[in-house]
Structure 1
């Protein structure tokens, strides 16, 4: 059976890491499964928002180091690489390029690769008993899947340096105060809170939400004057959309809008 599950309901696609007996550690097949399902969600006309979560007591405890230590899998001495490594179709890069909003429902702790995966999502809802463990340097590696890019932007250089260089574990309260997660809720309410937030987002005009995310992502690396030009070009097709007309009409008629994504 697949170790990653996919389901859609009420315009929300849920992708679930389903390997609880191994704390959802990522195996080689899971990398391909997760990539395929992220791409599927981004193209799925029935989904406007994506929730990424896990089963059991952990969200994701990182890469499957047991397989690596046995001479198989990710990071094993038997692994061979060519002169170049194509990272375009791996979960972190696919996740970063997605236009649809992604909420990470941290049902439990995230370590290593799992932490990078969570940071790659747009919004994070965290269980109050969960932790983030950036233990890369304690294993002889570095944050290889986005952490070195996300953390300085989210926290500033000094705080990011402290977290990465020490590799110490962060509790939920610290994650919230540092701005690494949006909300900390009781463990049994993570799925509910994440879904409620997803439904709130899904009720908005999906083309506008996706365009806003696209512009926010581009704005991370471009000057203001260039950015506003790109925003204007994104705005023009929205003005011609059915959703724009519905948004204006619903405002004037004092009713909730019903968007169709066209």
Structure 2
């Protein structure tokens, strides 16, 4: 069941993970959580994949976690009364953690609205493109909870403390235009133009030297918690092996010859 609810395809160095539960607005069941993590890890470990796209089917990207139990025998909700009680929580392979630690660039294509867990998952991607018809709902505090999957860490860094506080404390729902104005998404497109815009951006990223892109993302992530001097030192140490790659040689040769480089990831 989870395989049908989380689709996975690779084409032209781009892995696309699609939430495929439109009848429930792509709410995430327990099985889907595991499937999303598994597909993210597949993309991470596939040397042919250079960019990961996360999107959904239907009118929503993801309306959050599925808190209901499917009595028909299908996917179980997150709050399953028959699940064993756990006294510890291991989130190392949860989608937000896997997303955060992935070196390959991630692009969230918000085909529809995102709320709750879906909001946090979208924010966990590197870049977001949004349908003009979609909304972002940060209504956690209006439900008596907090952004449980990275939002409290991500939003202050993305928006600054005051804007993040305003968004989280009010539980506000944002239109596509408001999301763009706040900087939560990179661009807003009409629904019929969204997929083409996403494919163009994904192809552009996939056309860069993959080892350099991944190293740059890794350095950006490390830089979030490092002092400047230590960070510059780590960047230099990362640069040294890149200078020995065939892709670096190809990049410099293509520049001198005034042509597009053809990178092979080695």
| TM-score normalised according to structure 2 size | 0.94
Q: Are 2:42 and 1:25 equivalent residues in the alignment?
A: no
- Number of residue equivalences: 260
CA distance in 2: counterparts of 1:84 and 1:36, whole angstroms: 21
CA distance in 2: counterparts of 1:174 and 1:119, whole angstroms: 15
State which of 187, 192, 211 in structure 2 corresponds to 1:188.
192
Preserved contact between residue 103 and residue 214 of structure 2 (Cα < 8 Å): yes
CA distance in 1: counterparts of 2:225 and 2:83, whole angstroms: 34
Q: CA deviation at 1:79?
A: 5.1
Partner SS, residue 188 of structure 2: strand
Q: Are 2:159 and 1:155 equivalent residues in the alignment?
A: yes
Partner SS, residue 16 of structure 1: strand
State which of 128, 153, 165 in structure 1 corresponds to 2:132.
128
Q: CA deviation at 1:75?
A: 3.6
Q: Are 2:42 and 1:65 equivalent residues in the alignment?
A: no
The equivalent of 1:42 in structure 2 is 44
Q: Are 2:105 and 1:111 equivalent residues in the alignment?
A: no
Q: CA deviation at 1:81?
A: 4.3
Partner SS, residue 68 of structure 2: helix
Q: CA deviation at 1:78?
A: 5.6
The equivalent of 1:15 in structure 2 is 17
Q: CA deviation at 1:83?
A: 3.0
Q: CA deviation at 1:77?
A: 5.7
CA distance in 1: counterparts of 2:227 and 2:201, whole angstroms: 31
Preserved contact between residue 14 and residue 52 of structure 1 (Cα < 8 Å): yes
CA distance in 1: counterparts of 2:174 and 2:83, whole angstroms: 31
CA distance in 2: counterparts of 1:48 and 1:81, whole angstroms: 39
Please, what is the CA RMSD of the aligned residues? 1.5
CA distance in 2: counterparts of 1:225 and 1:140, whole angstroms: 42
Partner SS, residue 135 of structure 1: coil
Preserved contact between residue 14 and residue 51 of structure 1 (Cα < 8 Å): yes
Q: CA deviation at 1:158?
A: 1.2
Preserved contact between residue 136 and residue 142 of structure 1 (Cα < 8 Å): yes
Q: CA deviation at 1:198?
A: 0.4
CA distance in 2: counterparts of 1:191 and 1:26, whole angstroms: 22
Preserved contact between residue 13 and residue 47 of structure 1 (Cα < 8 Å): yes
CA distance in 2: counterparts of 1:117 and 1:59, whole angstroms: 10
Preserved contact between residue 73 and residue 79 of structure 1 (Cα < 8 Å): no
Structure 2 stretches of 5 or more lacking a match?
A: 71-75
Partner SS, residue 213 of structure 2: helix
State which of 57, 82, 95 in structure 1 corresponds to 2:86.
82
CA distance in 2: counterparts of 1:188 and 1:167, whole angstroms: 29
| TM-score normalised according to structure 1 size | 0.96
Partner SS, residue 126 of structure 1: strand
The equivalent of 1:51 in structure 2 is 53
Structure 1 stretches of 5 or more lacking a match?
A: none
Q: CA deviation at 1:65?
A: 2.2
CA distance in 1: counterparts of 2:139 and 2:38, whole angstroms: 27
Preserved contact between residue 205 and residue 261 of structure 1 (Cα < 8 Å): yes
Preserved contact between residue 51 and residue 195 of structure 1 (Cα < 8 Å): no
